[in-house]
Amino acid sequence: MRTGIATVPLDYGRCPYWLFERMKRLSRAIVLAIAEEFGAEEILRRLSDPIWFQSLGCVIGFDWNSSGLTTTTLGALKEGLRGLENELGIFVCGGKGKTSRKTPEQIQNWGEFLGWPMEKIDKLVYASKISAKVDSSCVQDFQNPFQIYHHNLIFTKDGQWTVIQQAMSVQIQKARRYHWLSSRIRDFIEEPHSGVIADARIKPLNLTAKESRGNKEISTEIVKEEPKKFLKDLNLIQTKKTKNLTLIELYDKEFYWHPVVEEKFDLKRLEKTILFAHEASPRNFETLLSLKGIGPKTIRALSLVSELIYGAEPSYEDPARYSFAHGGKDGTPFKCSKTLLDTTVEVMEKGIKRAKIENKEKNSAIKRLKSLE
């Protein structure tokens, strides 16, 4: 399989009707065939693999290097499976823009249809909400903020799920895609992704990294303690120039660079948020993050004080692999896995061959798959 770097420019416009209808038919046929061969949970595992998902989008006919591959492929899949959900055992919730905000409602509707207890429905709704919170607040670039505009949660009858969501930065005209898989998540706020894809490397505040554990713990303690001290510390930081930060009492902790040092926070607005969080007394960072009104700016402020005042350094390593490639023979951007390559092609190829579509469509799909090799 050829390897390389696929850029993901932020594209505008709509997918032509004729192409979308074709994508619906092909995605339905391929997914039904794979589910018959491997089972419904395999569909979730495949969709949670950024490379396999990218391959699916290409095989059913969308541009390989467009941000629209994510939104159009998932839209086609949702529409293609409409009416077959119960038979197949796969339910697609959410979508782009306003539809993404209807994900909890759609989860509840399907849960009630399946006769699930409310506790089981609530778990899925929580997974949808917390994954969106994590990718908007725990992985954030202050210079070129990425905002989530597409969110899908896809689940099976036994409650297993995958989340695929995409964020965009208008400033640099790029998109980033986040993949989650329930069966591999041990902690929603620490290394939760099955993959993060983007071609633009950034230096984000990455609170999902293990290295950020101390920063998150202190941020939670700050909220649980007296908010006035936090606001005083934050005000002290932002009224000092970077070169004079040595005037701040750092409690004998090493000083670390922080990308939001020059940011000006609205202390009056922040005070209301922090007081609300203080009254809620969150037991841990995940609980804090899940609170209504706690967004990227509040998390940045807490992380800033945790680092500059208490010396708890967060990670600034981008969790995204910058290439859509499986890897290169020279180890750049990472070592190529022959097993991964073979599995990607094998599962996709089986799905195409078993799909109940015309031979002409099969041949075209296989030809597009081969062009990726």
291-322 pLDDT, tens digit each: 999 999 999 999 999 998 898 999 999 898 64
Question: Which one of 27-31, 114-118, 267-271 scores highest in mean pLDDT?
Answer: 114-118
Tokens 């005037």, residue located: 247
pLDDT tops 60 at residue 325: no
Dihedral pair phi/psi, residue 205, rounded to 5°: -75, 110
pLDDT the model gives residue 243: 42
pLDDT the model gives residue 337: 52
Average pLDDT over residues 320-349: 51
pLDDT tops 70 at residue 364: no
Q: Which of 1-5, 144-148, 233-237, 265-269 has the lowest mean pLDDT?
A: 1-5
Where does the pLDDT of residue 5 fall: very low under 50, low under 70, confident under 90, or very high at 90 and above? Answer: very low
pLDDT the model gives residue 353: 64
Dihedral pair phi/psi, residue 69, rounded to 5°: -60, -40
User: For residues 370 and 234, which has the higher predicted lDDT (pLDDT)?
Assistant: 234
Average pLDDT over residues 355-360: 61
Neighbouring CB atoms inside 10 A of 28's CB total: 22
Classify 206 in phi/psi space as left (phi over 0), alpha (psi -120 to 50) or beta.
beta
Long-range contacts of 84-87 (CB under 8 A, 24+ apart): 84/28, 84/32, 85/110, 86/113, 86/114
245 CB contacts (<8 Å, ≥6 apart)?
237, 255, 261, 308
pLDDT tops 80 at residue 86: yes
Strand 139-140 with 205-206, pairing: antiparallel
Q: Following DSSP, what letter does each residue of 169-190 receive, concatenated?
A: ETTTTEEEEEEEEGGG-S-TTS
Which tokens sit at 71?
A: 């939104």
Handedness of CA 200, 205, 208, 212 (dihedral sign): positive
Question: Which one of 25-34, 75-84, 342-351 scores highest in mean pLDDT?
Answer: 75-84
Q: Which of 69-73, 205-209, 212-216, 280-284 has the lowest mean pLDDT?
A: 69-73
pLDDT tops 90 at residue 14: no
What is the rounded average pLDDT for all residues in the chain?
81
What b-and-e string marks burial along 39-58, b requiring 16 or more CB atoms within 10 Å of the CB?
A: ebbebbbbbbbbbbbbbbbb
pLDDT the model gives residue 349: 60
What proportion of the chain, given as a percentage, has pLDDT over 90?
48
